[in-house]
Amino acid sequence: MFEGHPKGLWALALANTGERFGYYTMLAVFFLFLQHQFGFSVGLAGSIQSIFLGVVYFVPLFGGMLADKYGYGKMVTIGILVMFLGYLCLSLPLGGGTIALIVMALALLFVCVGTGLFKGNLQVLVGNLYDDPKYSAKRDEGFSIFYMAINLGSMFAAAAALAVMDYVQKDFAVDKATSYHFAFAVACISLIFSIIIYYAFRFTFAHADRAKTAVAGAKEEVTEQLTPAQTKERIICLCLVFAVVIFFWMAFHQNGTTMTQFAEVYTRKTATGASSLMFNVWNLVLAILAVYGVMGIFQNKSLKGKIIALALVAGAGGYLAYSAANSADAVATFEAPIFQQFNPCFVVALTPIIMAVFSALRNKGKEPSSPLKIGLGMLVAGLGFVLLLMGSLDLPNPDAQTVALEAGTATLVTPNLLIGTYFILTIAELFLSPIGISFVSKVAPPQYKGMMMGGWFVATAIGNFLVAVPALLWGSLPLYVVWGVLIAVCLVSALFIFSILKRLEKVAK
């Protein structure tokens, strides 16, 4: 599973883990920070965050264009430093006046520009590692590992931010508004770790930093193999994939809008018995370790490795089994946003399983192509919303549910419905997102790799803007209409991919 990959993958993945931890630590509390620090309304704070999320995913297009000309590594380095300045500005406790507002706006600009220079170009470096024929067959696996690292960074981000804020409030008598700056300081520290990892192990991936003007002989050789017509066809095929990606993220990112609203209005916010264990992130970590242990037992070739894996399963699994057996009277009480922790946890847990399945299929010569995996991912995403639709059939529309909640007569569904939905959507994400990034790195014409990777993020940004569409339907309409729209979007996108499958597979050869 983790064998046979270039050494540079691990350095780039860990550098990205630190950067993503910082980004999601900042994002976890930024919405509330705007309200408590500046007194912004929910609407204004939401608008600022929405614009920020859109811009932060658009800028990689321009960051990629610069990298195609001046070098990927150079842009990654500048990006890290600019991002650090952004988080540093946010960590300064300047109050809620005009100067603080200007510094905050400047900080957001730095984070957007820094992310635009860093994120897409780091992924190009990963893809370049797999241009070596020695590793080319493991490109999809490599990006799956890289994607898992992203989610390792995000898995603990919210908990870390809240823990730091709680600590400084209690032990240092810091007021609530000021405590947010300490959370932003955590993002600064995480970027320092990213910088250290990136430079300490740069020798493992320095050869992958190929700018348009660098390694001229190799570039000329590649360019000669692609005619203008072939270059045009590759760009068109990537743009067709980007069109599908837009609608995937539109559906998937309902986790922050309609799915969170469903959790707030329709879902029981208590869990009892063994089910209560799922709402403690450390129990989820132990479950992940148990999964990795099981995989290690079957995949390790050495006896020592199998023994270590067995000990991991015995330790993590044993503790969870003991906790479950003694949790008959346990009750977990939680708030709606907690459901968002399941996606990154599922990503980390399911990645080795899905990789093992694809590896077994590859050994038999039956592994699906990358475009087919993307199409299957859209179908699986549709199934996730089918589950949510089935669980919503007997529920009243949102307006009626609100009235019932106020009257104390509302019917609430089990939290397992949303957990199951997140589980299915995570499988879809692992079929589509890392595989799609891998496809871009393979198909993009050499002289446009940075720009095409930036195009992936532009598609993500547009999808983020379209997230609002189901939210606009939320209200007096039945729930099946909201979920039905998302199901239709996923199915149509899957059919579109299948209709151009041969064309996409041809350019990927």
pLDDT-above-90 percentage for the chain: 74
The average pLDDT across 397-417 equals 91
Residue 74 has pLDDT above 80, yes or no: yes
Contact 112, 5 (CB under 8 A): no
Question: How do residues 327-371 score in pLDDT, each as one tens digit?
Answer: 988 999 988 878 878 999 999 999 999 999 999 999 999 999 999
What is the per-residue pLDDT for 219?
A: 42
Residue 167 has pLDDT above 50, yes or no: yes
Rounded to the nearest 5 degrees, what angle is found at the Cα of 119, between the Cα atoms of 118 and 121? 70
Domain boundaries, the chain: 1-214, 225-269+339-509, 270-333
The average pLDDT across 302-323 equals 94
- Calculate the CA 450 to chain-centre distance: 20
Residue 395 has pLDDT above 80, yes or no: yes
Question: How do residues 116-126 score in pLDDT, each as one tens digit?
Answer: 999 999 999 99
What is the per-residue pLDDT for 325?
A: 93
The answer to whether the pTM exceeds 0.85 is yes
Q: 225-269+339-509 has which fold?
A: Growth Hormone; Chain: A; (1.20.1250)
What is the per-residue pLDDT for 49?
A: 84
The model's confidence at residue 217, banded by pLDDT at 50, 70 and 90, is: very low
Residue 472 burial (CB < 10 Å; 0-12/13-18/19+)? Answer: exposed
What is the per-residue pLDDT for 154?
A: 82
Residue 214 has pLDDT above 50, yes or no: no
What is the per-residue pLDDT for 420?
A: 96
The model's confidence at residue 215, banded by pLDDT at 50, 70 and 90, is: very low
Query: Checking phi first, is residue 71 left (phi over 0); if not, alpha (psi -120 to 50) or beta?
Result: left
The model's confidence at residue 211, banded by pLDDT at 50, 70 and 90, is: low
In DSSP terms, 331 is beta-bridged to 272
Q: Backbone phi, then psi, for 413, in 5-degree steps?
A: -90, 165
What is the per-residue pLDDT for 216?
A: 39
Q: Which CATH code for domain 1-214?
A: 1.20.1250.20
Confirm whether 1-214 and 225-269+339-509 share one CATH topology. Answer: yes
Most confident of the following: 39-48, 206-215, 390-399: 390-399
What is the per-residue pLDDT for 27?
A: 87
Q: Which of 91-100, 191-200, 215-224, 444-453 has the lowest mean pLDDT?
A: 215-224
The model's confidence at residue 303, banded by pLDDT at 50, 70 and 90, is: very high
What is the per-residue pLDDT for 2?
A: 74
Instruction: Annotate 357-408 with DSSP letters as a single string.
Output: HHHHHHHTT-PPPHHHHHHHHHHHHHHHHHHHHHHHTTSPPHHHHHHHHHHT
The average pLDDT across 188-210 equals 94
The average pLDDT across 498-505 equals 96
Residue 291 has pLDDT above 50, yes or no: yes
Paired tokens of 73 = 């590594």
What is the per-residue pLDDT for 246?
A: 95
| HSE-up (13 A, CA, CB side) for residue 132 | 16
User: Residue 272 gets which letter from DSSP?
Assistant: E
What rounded mean pLDDT belongs to the chain? Answer: 91
Paired tokens of 13 = 């993945």
Question: How do residues 126-161 score in pLDDT, each as one tens digit?
Answer: 999 999 999 998 999 999 999 998 888 888 887 788
The model's confidence at residue 218, banded by pLDDT at 50, 70 and 90, is: very low
Question: How do residues 420-468 score in pLDDT, each as one tens digit?
Answer: 999 999 999 999 999 999 999 999 999 999 999 999 999 999 998 888 8
Question: How do residues 31-64 score in pLDDT, each as one tens digit?
Answer: 889 988 999 987 788 788 878 988 999 999 999 9
**What residue has token string 């045009």?**
232
206 or 281: which carries more pLDDT confidence? 206
